[in-house]
Chain A
Amino acid sequence: MKRVKNIKVLLDKYLEGETSHTEELELRRFFATAKHLPEDMAAYKPLFAYFDKEAMTEKQPHSARRLYFRYTWSAIAASIFLFLSIAGYNGYSHQSKDYVIINGEKSTDVRLAKEQARKALAEVSFSQEDIADDLIPQDMKETVQ
């Protein structure tokens, strides 16, 4: 009975915002364990139960397991993002896979690219002289002669 009286005093102090940390703990502990409360005090039980729960959540450190999952998923997400970015870049770069660069200037004009390709082929092409000089591999020669 005396304890209940003390608690009532503490409760008043609490409502006035004058309780110390130790006193607040005592209040919480009381409301958490008390089974039969006077009617005027019963209303505070859920309130302190809520504070208790909040305090527990705040105090509870991130478990190693939780951190592990958080980092793992972050790493996986980052990897997927990077992969998709690269895939996207490759997809984009494939769009201009036909091109010609003349004097550092790039053009995607296929007609111009083909013309330059023909020119390059002509530069490395064979002449009758080359064939006579045995320049072309034997298996190749058989086809052109």
Chain B
Amino acid sequence: MKQKMRYILSTLLLMVTISMSAQEGLYIGDIFEHYGKRHGSTMVQLSADVLKAYDITLYKSLSFRPDASGPYSWTWIIACVDQDKHRAKKIKESMFDGNLKSGYYQLPQVKKGINRFILFKTDDKRKRATLIYIEGTLNSAELVSMLFSKK
């Protein structure tokens, strides 16, 4: 009986864990997780309530200074982005000296009508990086219009 109870509780906990991580289910989620609350980082999360006008249901951005060495350095960050890139249906990247300078990825929809985008850019001079995740009904063209207007 105890085993049965343990089984029920374990299943329930597993379901909770899955439902929590399923919010994004992306490797870049680990970058947000690791660098989001660090000194020198700025992490923003905005919901549909605030971004209705832009057809965005979720906006997350992280501006941070990656570790120069160690397990969470540039190599790890690029590897995370790269993992998600493999699932993208539209990819555009710019490289410099064989290194990723910027990347724009459109991921497949997880909910019907909801597009997902990852934007990543590095700033070699400042040794910083910016990572953005956008979810919404906006399409890539609308996203570009928005990005272009920001410059």
A143 touches B (CB below 8 Å)? yes
Complex Cα–Cα for A59 and B46 (A): 65
Does chain B have a CB within 8 A of A27? Answer: no
* Distance of A40 Cα from B115 Cα, bound (Å): 92
Given the known interface contacts A75-B5, A101-B43, A136-B92, the answer about A122 and B150 at a Cβ–Cβ threshold of 8 Å is yes
- Closest-CB distance, B78 to chain A (whole angstroms): 16
Determine the distance from Cα of A117 to Cα of B5 in the docked complex, in whole angstroms.
46
A124-B130, A125-B151 as given contacts; A137 in contact with B90, CB under 8 Å: yes
Find out whether the CB atom of B140 lies under 8 angstroms from the CB atom of A139.
yes
Task: Give which listed residue, A121, A123, A125, A137, contacts B92 with CB less than 8 A.
Answer: A137
Q: Bound state CA distance, A144 and B151, in angstroms?
A: 13
Query: B120 — which chain A residues lie within 8 A by C-beta?
Result: 124
Q: How many residues of B sit at the interface, in one of the four size bands?
A: 35 or more
Interface size class of A (residues with CB under 8 A): 35 or more
Stretch of A2-10, A14-22, A77-85 on the interface side: A77-85
Task: Report which of B37, B130, B144 forms a contact with A143, defined as CB distance below 8 A.
Answer: B144
Contact status B151-A75, CB under 8 Å:
no
Distance A123 CA – B60 CA, assembled complex (angstroms): 14
User: Are A114 and B39 in touch, CB under 8 angstroms?
Assistant: no
Residue of A nearest to B104 (CB): A137
B16 part of interface (Cβ distance < 8 Å)? yes
Q: In the complex where A75-B5, A120-B130, A127-B151 touch, is A140 in contact with B140 (Cβ < 8 A)?
A: yes
* B59 & A117 in contact (Cβ 8 Å cutoff): yes
A126 at the interface (CB under 8 A from B): yes
Provide the bound-state CA to CA distance between A112 and B135, in Å: 21
Question: B94 and A120: CB pair below 8 A?
Answer: no
Closest Cβ of chain A to B149, distance in Å, is 8
- Which residues in chain A, 75-129, are within 8 Å of chain B measured between CB atoms? 75, 78-79, 82-83, 86, 97-104, 110, 113-114, 116-127
What are 9 A-B pairs with beta-carbon distances under 8 A? A79-B8, A82-B12, A122-B150, A123-B121, A124-B121, A124-B132, A124-B147, A135-B92, A140-B144
B interface residues, Cβ below 8 angstroms from A:
1, 4-5, 8-9, 12-13, 16, 36-47, 49-50, 59, 61-63, 90-92, 94, 102, 104, 119-121, 123, 130, 132, 140-151
Not counting A71-B4, A140-B143, a sample of 17 additional A-B residue pairs whose C-beta atoms are within 8 angstroms of each other reads A68-B1, A82-B12, A97-B49, A98-B50, A101-B37, A102-B42, A104-B37, A120-B44, A120-B62, A121-B147, A122-B151, A124-B119, A127-B151, A135-B92, A137-B90, A137-B92, A140-B140
